[in-house]
Structure 1
Amino acid sequence: MRIAFTSCMSAYSFPDQPVWDQIAQAQCDELVLLGDSAYYDADGQSTAAIQAMDANTFALHAHERLYKQVSHPTFSALVKTPTLRTHAIWDDHDFLWNGSCGAQIEGQPQYSHLLPPTRAVFARYRKALAARFAPGSFPQVPPPWAADVPPPGYSNVPLAHDVLLHLTDGRSFKSTRGRKALMGSKQLDDFEAACASASSDTVHLLASGVVFEANSGETWLGCAKEHERLLALADKYRILMLSGDVHHNKITKYSTGRGRLLFEATASGAAICTLVTLGALQCNWGLLDIDAERITVQVFQKDPATLPQTIDRKTWRWVTQQAGA
């Protein structure tokens, strides 16, 4: 099984997106988009401008930004591949604005009217991806948005009998005040229940919009309770986090402190600059090759890819790589 993953693209500012041709050449079975499929609050729009919009104006704006990506020729061609399934989660820029926290916005009447349209537009985008952009699935002129669409929340997709993809929602329930939250307890309860009901040798791919740890920015470490809970779950289950957000690539591991490991592969910056519209243009994506014994992880940039790193599925440890392997 071959799985590509990436995040962070803006067809509005970056019509040249070679990343999709590169992924197409890899002939993957699955594509996981880890957030920021569009930038609502960039490319000529500010956070203040988004916050000042009424619900209908924002719905049109969000649809238009996603439509630019949906209609991008090479992205569209990739998603339409009959043998490829595409899965997407959202992050701050295709939710509302940079650093936006849904749990806090719920309590702010001046902004909470934007939550129903953003949920509706993103749900339409996900359905269009699942339909491989069938005609009319994401039209240029949007239909009226539904006001009762729930947040994406948590879901999972069996990729094989022993590989489970967990799609998370790191925006709708996020709070940086008071009782800090990233996913929220219900999503983590659902994730744990799915892990517990799977076979003991199952690999759990956890799709996250933000990285597990970093020196700055939004991370799981910003919510200590959930950070510790995920490490505790990694004591019991084989968890490999796929993450985005940071506009660079990384492959790493974290010790649970009790003899087990949590692995993370970050691929961020599919078609964006280091600082959105400033800095070096990125062309970043990642690749997993999974068989019965091993998971090989590789990340790619405009320059040659890093050497692949391999996880032994039985021991849940790195396999020593020879130079050039």
Structure 2
Amino acid sequence: MRSRIRVGILFVLATAFAPAARADDPKPLTRIAFGSCVDQDKPVPIFDTIAAAKPDLLLLLGDNMYADLDRKLKVTPDVIRDKYQQMAKVPGFIKLKAACPMLGTWDDHDYGKNDAGAEWEHKDAAQKEFHDFFDTPKDDPRRAQKGVYHAEIYGPVGKRVQVIMLDTRYFRSPLAKGPADPKTRIVPYLPNTDADATMLGAEQWKWLEAQLKKPAEVRLLVSSIQVVTDEHPFEKWTNIPKEREKLYALLNSTGARGVLILSGDRHHADVSVDTKSIGYPLYDITSSGFNQASKNWRVPEKNSYRLAGMPFGDNFGFITIDWTSDDPRIGVQIRDEDGDATCGFKVRLSTLKGKAPASPAKAPDGVLTPADTAKKIGETVKVQFVVQSVGGKTNLYLNSNKDFRAKDNFAVVLPMKVQTGPWAKAGPDTFVGKTIRATGKIEVNKSDSVQLEIADEKGLEIVKE
């Protein structure tokens, strides 16, 4: 009997989470693992590999189990609970759970429904099961709030790492769909440009602003879906384009430095970087999945922001921070099932502290943003935005998006006949990075993109910041 009691005690100890890393711990974080997408019904050997890497903290970016893979089974709160319990019994997870502290957010499959947002009928029940799985204390305020967003700051002054876990599910507005691709049968998501459409919801946006104003040297901003890359047809922040614009504006206005975005979802690994939006390189490091990535070679998804990638093979992300230098060095790697680094980069912390660009000039009342124009087809309006790229050999196309082919790109057309007066020698250097205000009729071009053509040289001006 005594031996049975002892075995029971050991099992409880093995399945309890490791003590949480504390913000008041004088030892800074130096080794952080992260990743996403694990099917509880399949082997997960990569968990042993992660444990062997001895991270100080593990960040679970979503799809921490799959509740909705069985199409014959209706997902209910009981099903979500059962799937979490299955995940909790995976030997590698038990080992990993006892070895290092964890923080997590959810994505769609552990939320309970593929690509679901605010409309999901069981989201409150799913939130309870999420907190039970992560052993959130019963009196923790997170159990009473709507959504699973959460943040922590670790380490002493001068060596602080802030982890911000976003919830891109609970409040997210419906997504717009296009026609299925006849070759791939993929139904792409199109930009939802509705003025009220949201990714995070009002309360979470307010909370995020407060978090970004807190002092920290390194900030890991966790989004279950990709932020920077915007060319594939699946879930991403530019499904609601004004929300990504809002995120970048918030990073600028709060003066947040040291930001690295961590994302999951895509069943491959990607390292993307935007060099123009926030005044320093904004990296989005995607790690997916723990056991859900394609096992065979495949063509990488289109991504003009890609620095490096791992288009197939199970993977996890690993961050190291060398605090010993006056200018700390951050190493970011994507590692495979064997623990080998397949791609990554190193960056000095000073590189992530570049001077932020001035916030775009505020548009006067009645002046539209590109996201507002889709509902104004045929009307003569004024539009204001920051030019991201310029194209055309005769007519100049002033684009709101770096990629003029992007579905949500809006273009102001400056015809050759109007390139007179102040625009006589205009070119990319004249406009890129500048805020313009244009007057003209909103039209849809042959590529189904929205544009405005300038009728005379007075219909375009560069707005002083």
Q: If the TM-score is normalised by the length of the shorter chain, which range does it land in?
A: 0.7 to 0.9
Displacement of 1:92 in angstroms is 0.5
2:291 is matched with 271
Give the letter for the 2:163 counterpart: L
Point out the more displaced range, 151-160 or 283-292.
151-160
- Out of 321, 326, 330, which is 1:295 matched to? 330
In 2: Cα distance, 1:302 partner to 1:60 partner: 32
2:164 is matched with 166
Contact 1:210 1:245 in 2 (8 A): yes
Give the letter for the 2:234 counterpart: G
Larger Rg: 2
In 1: Cα distance, 2:144 partner to 2:129 partner: 9
Give the letter for the 2:150 counterpart: S
In 2: Cα distance, 1:34 partner to 1:240 partner: 14
- Is the aligned partner of 1:246 residue 2:266? yes
In 1: Cα distance, 2:224 partner to 2:277 partner: 25
Give the letter for the 2:57 counterpart: E
**In percent, how many aligned pairs have the same letter?**
27
Pairwise CA RMSD: 2.5
- Is the aligned partner of 1:207 residue 2:222? yes
- Taking structure 1 as reference, are residues 271 and 314 closer, same or farther at Cα in structure 2, changes over 3 Å only? same
1:7 is matched with 36
Displacement of 1:254 in angstroms is 0.9
2:210 is matched with 193
1:316 is matched with 352
Point out the more displaced range, 181-190 or 63-72.
181-190
- CA offsets per residue over residues 239-280 of structure 1, 9 Å max, x none? 1111000000111211344632211111011012439xxxx9
In 2: Cα distance, 1:3 partner to 1:273 partner: 21
In 2: Cα distance, 1:193 partner to 1:317 partner: 19
In 2: Cα distance, 1:229 partner to 1:300 partner: 32
Q: How does 1:59-138 map to 2 (within 5 A)?
A: 59-81=77-99, 84-102=100-118, 104-105=119-120, 112=121, 114-127=122-135
TM-score by length of 2: 0.55
- Is the aligned partner of 1:218 residue 2:235? yes
Contact 1:153 1:187 in 2 (8 A): no
In 2: Cα distance, 1:176 partner to 1:249 partner: 26
2:317 is matched with 286
- Give the number of the structure with larger relative contact order, counting CA–CA contacts within 8 Å between residues 6 or more apart: 1
- CA offsets per residue over residues 50-97 of structure 1, 9 Å max, x none? 3xx6xxxx122111111111110111111111xx21011001001121
In 2: Cα distance, 1:312 partner to 1:273 partner: 30
In 1: Cα distance, 2:277 partner to 2:92 partner: 44
2:280 is matched with 260
SS in 2 for 1:75: helix
In 2: Cα distance, 1:291 partner to 1:233 partner: 28
SS in 2 for 1:170: coil
- Taking structure 1 as reference, are residues 99 and 223 closer, same or farther at Cα in structure 2, changes over 3 Å only? same
**Count of matched residue pairs:** 274
- Taking structure 1 as reference, are residues 26 and 152 closer, same or farther at Cα in structure 2, changes over 3 Å only? same
**Runs of 5+ in structure 2 lacking a partner?**
1-29, 176-193, 296-310, 355-465
- Out of 151, 156, 159, which is 1:156 matched to? 151
2:186 is matched with none
